[in-house]
């Protein structure tokens, strides 16, 4: 997985527009810590920062560079709620806990805002996010969610945008109504992740880069090994996204790596850019295999979508992505595509997050299923609180049942490809 992903990481708009942090050393000795965090993406960094603020000695081991994974490459849409939406959570946890789970995402959003302010992270925060329907017949159900979320979840921030009103918001004929969430937002994810890493370093967290974990030995303390050193720690937090299942066998099959891709156009003239999306809110469609897009502060269309379930990068990616963008915005046919990249989303079979323990002192955070930007923040906080002895909220999330993908590690991809082909077909019907 690591090798395939390396190719997708290089050409991102984010990498071209963020200032990298100085390279951190790689682990070359045997050291002791209170907590060893594996992975310097948003989940690992969030846990590390919280734990350090609580007084723990924290070491982060990162196989590549800080924010090299999905956290530095995603669509930048900070969306309240879960990829699975509320219905499965209500079924599994009951309404009262499903409400608490939803509110956790609001707390995650507030936590992001607070961190940005406290650590002065300049990351292009822009309020507003809209879900739009691709098929006219799915519009009523989408619009109904406004009343449901207001009445059942006391969430007053949603606004229904009727098919007649949508053209005032979106210069695209592809969509047929939408729901605008005034509380959700979008941002430059790499700038945010690097800012969080900087805050963690300043708080006393030690981060080792180019230090891939090769083995986890359970025990109290546990031992986490890399090629040239090891960390002995009272607690371990595994936050390695889709990359850990070969190293930590107990995680195998719990998440599926799904490739998703993004392009940005060249800078458009301001009038064209302003006309695309009112107030420059972020937008996703409501297909199962969805497109997501927004206009960047420097006037580019940033358009994501298209997926790969096999792990292989689709051929002619840039052209294929451009075609997908032009399906929604044909007026951009003359805009040059300047960046094209992608990464892997860690989806679970039910698309609910998978936070739990492998042992009383080994925690893992994964299964963000494409909604990780907010969720990683709160996940890190919940893991830190659980380590500090306040596990109630972590344990509530850990109650969500997950079934590994059918067929085990070798067969799960073909099985998923078949299942997804079905859903994709449904998107077209």
Ligand X SMILES: Cc1cc2nc3c(=O)[nH]c(=O)nc-3n(C[C@H](O)[C@H](O)[C@H](O)COP(=O)(O)OP(=O)(O)OC[C@H]3O[C@@H](n4cnc5c(N)ncnc54)[C@H](O)[C@@H]3O)c2cc1C
DSSP string, 59-70: EEE-SSSTT-SG
State which residue, 61 or 325, has the beta carbon closest to ligand X. Answer: 61
Please tell me whether residue 49 binds ligand X under the rule CB under 6 A: no
Measured CA to CA, the distance from residue 176 to residue 135 in angstroms comes to 7
- Shortest Cβ 49–ligand X spacing (Å): 13
Nearest residue to ligand X, by Cβ distance, number only: 372
Using CB under 6 A, pick the residue from 9, 33, 35, 41 that binds ligand X: 41
State which residue, 247 or 361, has the beta carbon closest to ligand X. Answer: 247
- Shortest Cβ 94–ligand X spacing (Å): 26
State which residue, 28 or 162, has the beta carbon closest to ligand X. Answer: 28
Q: H/E element holding 294?
A: strand 292-295
Cis link prior to 194 (omega < 30° from 0)?
Answer: no
Torsional class of 186: left (φ above 0), alpha (ψ -120 to 50), beta (otherwise): beta
Measured CA to CA, the distance from residue 218 to residue 76 in angstroms comes to 36
CA distances (Å), origin 420, targets 136, 155, 269, 288, 416: 22, 31, 38, 9, 6
State which residue, 173 or 409, has the beta carbon closest to ligand X. Answer: 409
C-beta of residue 342 within 8 angstroms of C-beta of residue 267: no
Judged by CB under 6 A, the chain residues 229 through 288 that form the site for ligand X are: 239-241, 243-244, 247, 260, 262
Judged by CB under 6 A, the chain residues 190 through 209 that form the site for ligand X are: none
- Shortest Cβ 201–ligand X spacing (Å): 16
C-beta of residue 206 within 8 angstroms of C-beta of residue 197: no
Pattern 51-70, binding to ligand X, x per CB under 6 A? ----------xxxx---xxx
Checking DSSP bridges between strand 282-285 and strand 126-132, what pairing results, if any?
parallel
Measured CA to CA, the distance from residue 94 to residue 92 in angstroms comes to 6
Judged by CB under 6 A, the chain residues 355 through 374 that form the site for ligand X are: 368, 370-373
- Shortest Cβ 110–ligand X spacing (Å): 15
State which residue, 24 or 260, has the beta carbon closest to ligand X. Answer: 260
- Shortest Cβ 116–ligand X spacing (Å): 15
C-beta of residue 213 within 8 angstroms of C-beta of residue 226: yes
Please tell me whether residue 128 binds ligand X under the rule CB under 6 A: no
State which residue, 143 or 248, has the beta carbon closest to ligand X. Answer: 248
Burial of 37 (0-12, 13-18, 19+ CB in 10 A): buried
- Shortest Cβ 267–ligand X spacing (Å): 21
Please tell me whether residue 130 binds ligand X under the rule CB under 6 A: no
Q: Where does this chain bind ligand X (CB under 6 A)?
A: 38-44, 61-64, 68-71, 73-77, 79, 212-213, 239-241, 243-244, 247, 260, 262, 292, 304, 342-345, 368, 370-373, 376
């Amino acid at each position: 997985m690591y090798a395939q992903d390396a190719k997708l990481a290089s050409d991102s708009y984010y990498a071209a527009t963020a200032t990298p942090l100085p390279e951190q050393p790689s682990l070359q000795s045997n050291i002791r810590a209170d907590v060893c965090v594996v992975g310097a993406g948003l989940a690992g960094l969030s846990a590390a920062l919280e734990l350090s603020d609580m007084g723990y000695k924290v070491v982060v081991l990162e196989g590549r560079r800080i924010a090299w994974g999905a956290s530095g490459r995603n669509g930048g849409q900070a969306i309240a709620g879960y990829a699975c939406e509320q219905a499965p959570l209500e079924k599994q946890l009951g309404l009262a806990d499903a409400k608490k789970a939803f509110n956790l995402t609001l707390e995650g959003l507030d936590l992001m805002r607070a961190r940005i302010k406290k650590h002065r992270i300049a990351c292009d925060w822009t309020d507003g996010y809209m879900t739009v329907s691709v098929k006219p017949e799915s519009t009523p159900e989408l619009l109904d969610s406004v009343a449901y979320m207001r009445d059942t979840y006391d969430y007053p921030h949603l606004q229904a945008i009727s098919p007649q009103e949508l053209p005032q918001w979106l210069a695209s004929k592809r969509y047929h109504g939408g729901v605008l969430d005034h509380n959700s937002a979008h941002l430059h994810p790499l700038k945010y992740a690097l800012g969080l890493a900087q805050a963690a370093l300043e708080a006393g967290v030690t981060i080792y880069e180019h230090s891939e974990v090769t083995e986890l030995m359970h025990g109290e303390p546990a031992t986490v090994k890399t090629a040239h050193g090891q960390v002995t720690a009272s607690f371990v937090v595994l936050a390695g996204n889709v990359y850990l299942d070969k190293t930590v066998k107990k995680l195998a099959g719990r998440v599926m790596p799904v490739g998703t891709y993004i392009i940005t156009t060249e800078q458009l003239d301001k009038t064209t850019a302003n006309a695309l999306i009112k107030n420059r809110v972020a937008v996703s469609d409501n297909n199962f295999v969805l497109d997501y897009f927004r206009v960047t502060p420097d006037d580019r269309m940033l358009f994501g979508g298209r997926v790969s379930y096999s792990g292989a990068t689709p051929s002619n990616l840039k052209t294929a992505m451009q075609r997908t963008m032009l399906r929604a915005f044909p007026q951009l046919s003359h805009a040059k595509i300047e960046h094209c990249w992608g990464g892997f989303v860690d989806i679970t079979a039910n698309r609910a997050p998978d936070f739990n323990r492998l042992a009383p002192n080994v925690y893992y955070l994964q299964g963000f299923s494409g909604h990780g930007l907010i969720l990683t923040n709160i996940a890190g906080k919940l893991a830190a609180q659980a380590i500090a002895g306040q596990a109630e909220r972590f344990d509530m999330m850990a109650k969500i049942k997950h079934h590994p993908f059918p067929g085990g590690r070798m067969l799960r991809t073909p099985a998923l490809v078949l299942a997804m082909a079905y859903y994709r077909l449904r998107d077209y019907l």
